Amino acid sequence: MLTTIRVNGVDRAADVDPRMSLLDFLRERLDLKGTKKGCDHGQCGACTVLVNGVRINACLSLAVMHEGDQVLTVEGLAGEEALHPVQHAFLVEDAFQCGYCTPGQICSAVGLLAEVAAGQPSEATVDLEGPVVLTDAEIRERMSGNICRCSAYPQILAAVRRAAGVAA
Amino acid sequence: MKPFAYERARDVDHALSLAAANPGARFLAGGTNLLDLMKLEIEQPSQVIDVGRLPLAEISETPSGGLRIGALATNTAVASDPRVRSRYPILARAILAGGSVQLRNKASVGGNLMQRTRCPYFMDSAKPCNKRLPGSGCSAMEGLAMTFALFGASEMCVAVSPSDMSVALAALDGLAETVRADGSVSRRPVETLHRLPGEAPQVDTDLAPDELILAVELPPPPEGGQAWRKVRARASYTGAIASVAVAGGQVALGAVAARPWRARAAEEALASGASPFEAAASELAHAAGEEGRKALVRRLAADVIREAREGMGS
Report chain A residues whose CB lies below 8 A from the CB of B231.
none
| Alpha carbon distance B255, B242 (integer Å) | 5
Q: Where are the beta strands (DSSP E) in chain A?
A: 2-7, 10-15, 48-51, 54-57, 70-72
- Helical H segments across chain B, by residue range: 12-21, 34-39, 75-80, 82-87, 89-96, 101-106, 109-114, 120-123, 165-171, 264-271, 276-284, 291-311
Query: Which of B100, B108, B228, B229 best probes binding to A when mutated, by most A CB atoms within 10 angstroms?
Result: B100
B252 lies in some domain = no
- Low-confidence spans in chain B with pLDDT less than 50: 313-314
- Mark yes or no for CB contact A18/B4 under 8 Å: yes
pLDDT digits (tens, 9 = 90+) for A33-80: 999 999 999 999 999 999 999 999 999 999 999 999 999 999 999 999
Examine residue B198 and state whether it is found in any structural domain, yes or no.
Answer: no
Chain A residues within 8 A of B100 when measuring between CB atoms: 42, 45, 144-146
Q: What is the C-alpha end-to-end distance of chain B, expressed in Å?
A: 42
Helix (H, G, I), strand (E, B) or coil at B49: strand
What pLDDT shows up at residue B184? 98
| CB distance A48 to A145 below 8 Å | yes
Is B309:B225 a contact under the CB 8 Å cutoff?
yes
DSSP letters, B153-195, are --SS-------SHHHHHHHTT-EEEEE-TT--EEEEEGGGTBP
Compare all CA atoms of chain B with the CA of A46 and give the residue at the minimum distance.
Answer: B102
Distance of alpha carbon B258 from alpha carbon B206, whole angstroms: 13
Cα–Cα nearest to B181, from B70, B38, B25: B25
- Classify each residue of B230-266 as buried b or exposed e, where b means 16 or more C-beta atoms within 10 Å of its C-beta: bbbeeebbbbbbbbbbbbbbbbbbbbbbbbbbbbebb
**Other beta carbons within 10 Å of B11:** 12
> Is residue B182 domain-resident?
no
Domain count for chain B: 1
The CATH number assigned to the domain holding A139 equals 1.10.150.120
Assess whether A94 and A160 both reside in one domain. yes
Is residue B104 domain-resident?
no
Could you tell me if A65 and A91 lie in one domain?
no
Instruction: Sort B195 into a burial class: Cβ within 10 Å, 0-12 / 13-18 / 19+.
Output: middle
Rg of chain B over all Cα atoms, to the nearest angstrom: 19
Same domain? A54 vs A95: no
| Residues of chain A above pLDDT 70, percent | 99
**CB pair distance less than 8 Å for B86 and A119:** no
Instruction: Quote the CA–CA distance of B307 and B280 in Å, as a whole number.
Output: 13
Provide the pLDDT for residue B153. 96
- Residue A168's pLDDT band, with cuts at 50, 70 and 90, is low
* Closest chain B residue to the Cα of A18, Cα to Cα: B6
Q: Is residue B156 part of a domain?
A: no
Measured between alpha carbons, how far apart are the two ends of chain A, in Å?
49
pLDDT at A97 exceeding the cut of 90: yes
Q: Judge whether B12 lies within some domain.
A: yes
Q: Please state the ipTM of this predicted complex.
A: 0.97
d(CA A148, CA A104): 10
CATH number at residue B11: 3.30.43.10
Closest CA to A87 of A109, A112, A68: A109
Mean pLDDT of all residues belonging to chain A: 97
- Is B44 part of a structural domain of the chain? yes
Task: Say if residues B90 and B227 touch (Cβ distance below 8 Å).
Answer: yes
Q: Give the sheet arrangement for strand B250-254, strand by strand.
A: B226-232, B240-247, B250-254, B261-262
d(CA B51, CA B43): 18
- A68 shares a domain with A96: no
The alpha carbon of residue A65 is apart from the nearest alpha carbon of chain B, in Å, by 7
Q: What are the pLDDT digits (tens) for B99-148?
A: 999 999 999 999 999 999 999 999 999 999 999 999 999 999 888 877 89
CA dihedral for B182, B183, B184, B190, sign (positive or negative): positive
Nearest of A23, A19, A118 to residue A71 by alpha carbon: A23
CA A157/CA B126 separation, integer angstroms: 39
Q: Which residues pair with B213 in a beta bridge?
A: B178
**Statement to judge: residues A10 and A55 lie in one domain:** yes
pLDDT at B142: 85
Query: Do A60 and A120 sit in the same domain of this protein?
Result: no
A residues 114..143 contacting B (CB < 8 A): 115, 118-123, 125, 128-129, 140-142
Q: Which domain holds residue B28?
A: 5-53
Give me the domain span that covers residue A160: 85-164
pLDDT digits (tens, 9 = 90+) for B2-44: 999 999 999 999 999 999 999 999 999 999 999 999 999 999 9
Of B48, B89, B102, the CB nearest to A45: B102
Indicate the residue among A76, A94, A111 that finishes a domain: A76
| Cβ neighbours of B126 (radius 10 Å) | 7
CB distance A30 to A7 below 8 Å: yes
Domains identified in chain A, total number:
2
Residues A36 and A13 in one domain: yes
Question: Is there a single domain that holds both residue A72 and residue A91?
Answer: no
Say whether both A110 and A156 belong to one domain. Answer: yes
